[in-house]
Structure 1
Amino acid sequence: MSDEREQISTEALDGSPKWLDREYFEKVLRKARDDTNLSVQSVEVKLAFPKGVNYASVIYRVRVDFRTKDQSIFSRSYIVKAMPEEGFAKQKLSEYNCHETEMNVYQLIIPKLKQLMESIGDHSDLFPATLTIDRIKNIMVFEDLSSKGYIMADRFVGLGEVHTKLTLELMAKMHASSLKLVETNPTILEKYKNGIMTRGTDAFYPMFYSNFDALTEEISTWDQEWHYFANKLRKLRPHFIEQGLRVFDHQSDEDLRVLIHSDLWINNLLFKYDANGKPVDVVLLDFQFCCYSTPIVDLCYFFFTSTQDVIRQNCFDELVQYYYYHLANYVRKLNYAKKFPTLHEFQRQLLKKLFFAVYSSFVALPVAINEDTADADIEALLGNDERAWRFRKTMMGNKRYQKIIKYLLPIFDRKGLLDKLDSY
């Protein structure tokens, strides 16, 4: 190769780590490919996503040219995921221990879930393959699924019926295989306690309150007929976080308890399409907030943040049933021996935990469909300065978000979800 191709291109405006270089990838690839003679010729590092796509980590796309022991030359792309290295973001995310959680899930749990699904003949990708979990450098290196044709769907459009059903099937596989995993190893998931809402840290509480307050203020500027809802939200505010936390609490042994993603929205999914543009497969990413809790969290969070408006307005009951039937089918195939709820019993569990639809719509949805990314970063989400407040006003002023929330507020109110739910 020429001298030019052998240059290490880690310099870049992205501020990538200097050690993310030819020597590092040579070490990783030699082990991953079981080839001690593998030689990396060049490395090019770029940020994988623009602002507004990812908030809780730093993700690089790395192009590596290398030569194998038989002198074959390859050019491959990999994804490197790291925690923010300094500042406010690192402090808050460290309180969640989310990076260690994700490393543990990829290293210790996902291989077992894959093995269980393969035991019933399902060999689909489900999750990205890892090249290495590097606990010294505190990074993870994955295959770049774009090389297999996987791409991110448009978060501004939302997911249609086919995308949504593919995702619900994937969700059912993950949840069912985790049920079987716990049946054979009862304590394996007990340490995964910090979901997106958790009693383990209040690090994100400022974001929950700030988005809630920004929405309340926005509604107060609408026509008089909407002031009823602004007043409802003001009364709900003292109970908002506690009612969200109670969704994650395991209150009855009759309730399903599975490994949930807890941040399952459109940007944590990659889809593959056929020649006609129809989605045929989906892979789930980003397990930083994985925890052992109710599947209702993933159902509500996904449905209310990521589906198209027409589906959000008309298809919730239908798609809950669709998810349940797939979950029950995978549980049966996996020979799960413990009691499994009927659809009616599952619907009762859903009703108890449905407040998460409110959280998802008030806090997560405006972030998910925000179009103005000038201030879109975790500091703006969690901060209380002028830039943070401007970001929240921008999100709540989004006309599409306002249209959605105007449809949802009366529904939530009729279900009693805008009131204090019970005594505690």
Structure 2
Amino acid sequence: MATSGKLIIPESAEDIAPSWVQQVLQRDLLGVTITDVYVKGRIGEGEGFMANIVAFDALGTRNGTSQCYSLVAKLTDLSSTLCPRDNLIDYERVEIVFYSRVVPELLSVAADDHRPFDDSFFLPKCYFAATDPSSMVSVRVMENLKTQGFSIKPDLQPLGREEMMLTVGALAQLHGLSHRLDVRSGVPLPEKCTFGPFSPPVVAHLCKKGLKTFAEAFPEEKDLLFRLEKVVNVQRFLEDLADRKSSRLRVLNHGDCWTNNIMIKYDGDVPTAVKLVDWQVIQYVPPTYDLAMLFLCSAGWDVFHNHRDAILAHYHQQLQDTLGQNDPSDLQSYTLEQLKADFQTDCLYGVFSRVMRMEIVLRPDPDFLRMIQEIKEWGVL
């Protein structure tokens, strides 16, 4: 086991002991005593491969009442061969800083509105996040969303209209709270946290593979392929992500908001809540970047074409609700029409994100083809 300050950083499920869990939980739950820990084993959904997520139940008492806490420990998997070690450490660092430094400040802003930390909040509760500087092993201890009824849609199924509504509502919370934090603190988020690392050679390789996959799937679409090759400019997109001098309004973005990182709760077949997970590539960019990626990587043609305006209107309303009336700012005066115009322009980032994932997980399909044909009609492709 590694150490970080006074708390040990577990390297495997065997290191998750009652005494350690008690130390972790006592930071938020004063008076809690943990007597037993039952490790359920590794869990994983979707295509996640960069962490070892261990589910466990912690049994004990608090204020004289028996308690059972269903938790997960997200541990660094340095043995993974699917991601270079240095890249993995960078990804882990981003999420640790996000949960340990940024989330507490976002929660303080939300507390001003008496916003509850329940199913309606956009991310899971994290009790502890730290990295051992010598071993570079990281851990995040979070609530187990699966035991609360949340799950990732199987087989990369696209999100339906109501699922998209909930997801953009979660993004609106993130964007609005981060902007309020910027305004109130006077210190922009880029000075507080680390943002998602991208390796230009890796991204270029993935995009090249993605374009080849598109060409093989739709050999007759030579004009669209030519247009895609022209706009999928890796250097330009990476420069845009890193640009801090742009006059465009920027907020904290999830940066990887697609089906695989969206956990949804249902009442029967009706979606009721959404939590966004895997915060390893957060970005400080215009809010429409998250929305563009969500639509291009998680929606089907019907949602994109027939329900896009309603979903964007819902996002805009949720954003205004999150901003409130007490913090006048540029984002508060951001109109729905401006949002729609920016979305059309920034759809190229969504296309870029889809192409980058095309050869690995998000294969080109007729729905994607119809979406980029419509984007072409907008004059941005």
TM-score bin, normalised by smaller chain:
0.7 to 0.9
- Measure how far apart 1:180 and its partner are: 0.8
Aligned to 2:335: 342
Aligned to 1:91: 85
Aligned to 2:7: none
In structure 2, the gaps of 5 or more residues are 1-10
Report the residue type matching 1:48 in the other structure. Answer: I
Cα deviations across residues 237-283 of structure 1 (Å, max 9, x unaligned)? 7x521343355335642x22101001011222222233x43222222
Whether the 8 Å CA contact 1:57–1:84 is kept in 2: the answer is: yes
* Superposition TM-score, scaled by structure 2 size: 0.81
- Matched residues in 1 for 2:374 and 2:68: separation? 52
Q: Does 1:57 pair with 2:20?
A: no
Q: Does 1:46 pair with 2:41?
A: yes
Q: Does 1:25 pair with 2:18?
A: no
* Superposition TM-score, scaled by structure 1 size: 0.74
Q: Does 1:260 pair with 2:253?
A: yes
- Matched residues in 2 for 1:92 and 1:291: separation? 19
Aligned to 1:356: 349
Aligned to 1:284: 276
Whether the 8 Å CA contact 1:180–1:334 is kept in 2: the answer is: no
2:225 alignment partner, one of 230, 250, 253: 230
Aligned to 2:4: none
For 1:71-82, what aligned pairs fall within 5 Å after superposition? 74-82=67-75
Aligned to 2:106: 113
- Measure how far apart 1:403 and its partner are: 1.6
Q: Does 1:316 pair with 2:311?
A: no
- Matched residues in 1 for 2:101 and 2:194: separation? 16
- Matched residues in 1 for 2:373 and 2:330: separation? 39
- Matched residues in 2 for 1:169 and 1:210: separation? 33
Aligned residues: 360
Report the secondary structure of 1:280's partner residue.
strand
> Structure 1 residues 16 and 328, CA, compared in 2 at 3 Å: closer, same or farther?
same
- Matched residues in 2 for 1:163 and 1:122: separation? 22
- Measure how far apart 1:128 and its partner are: 1.1
- Measure how far apart 1:231 and its partner are: 4.1
- Matched residues in 1 for 2:60 and 2:365: separation? 54
- Matched residues in 1 for 2:86 and 2:379: separation? 33
- Matched residues in 2 for 1:171 and 1:177: separation? 10
> Structure 1 residues 344 and 68, CA, compared in 2 at 3 Å: closer, same or farther?
closer
- Measure how far apart 1:356 and its partner are: 0.9
Report the residue type matching 1:104 in the other structure. Answer: V
Whether the 8 Å CA contact 2:56–2:71 is kept in 1: the answer is: yes
> Structure 1 residues 148 and 305, CA, compared in 2 at 3 Å: closer, same or farther?
same
- Matched residues in 1 for 2:175 and 2:91: separation? 20
2:128 alignment partner, one of 132, 140, 143: 132
Whether the 8 Å CA contact 2:94–2:282 is kept in 1: the answer is: yes
Report the residue type matching 1:403 in the other structure. Answer: P
Whether the 8 Å CA contact 1:159–1:306 is kept in 2: the answer is: yes
- Measure how far apart 1:22 and its partner are: 4.6
- Matched residues in 1 for 2:74 and 2:352: separation? 28
> Structure 1 residues 38 and 84, CA, compared in 2 at 3 Å: closer, same or farther?
closer
Report the secondary structure of 1:288's partner residue.
coil
Whether the 8 Å CA contact 1:120–1:334 is kept in 2: the answer is: no
- Matched residues in 1 for 2:155 and 2:184: separation? 38
> Structure 1 residues 226 and 159, CA, compared in 2 at 3 Å: closer, same or farther?
same
- Matched residues in 1 for 2:64 and 2:334: separation? 57
- Measure how far apart 1:141 and its partner are: 0.6
- Matched residues in 2 for 1:212 and 1:260: separation? 26
Q: Does 1:413 pair with 2:371?
A: no
Q: Which has the larger radius of gyration?
A: 1
Q: Which one has the bigger strand percentage?
A: 2
For 1:8-19, what aligned pairs fall within 5 Å after superposition? 16-19=12-15
Cα deviations across residues 350-385 of structure 1 (Å, max 9, x unaligned)? 34423112113323366555xxxxxxxxxxxxxxxx
Whether the 8 Å CA contact 2:210–2:358 is kept in 1: the answer is: no
> Structure 1 residues 403 and 184, CA, compared in 2 at 3 Å: closer, same or farther?
same
> Structure 1 residues 74 and 185, CA, compared in 2 at 3 Å: closer, same or farther?
closer
- Matched residues in 1 for 2:366 and 2:172: separation? 30
1:305 alignment partner, one of 284, 297, 307: 297
- Measure how far apart 1:90 and its partner are: 4.3
> Structure 1 residues 164 and 182, CA, compared in 2 at 3 Å: closer, same or farther?
same
- Matched residues in 2 for 1:29 and 1:320: separation? 39
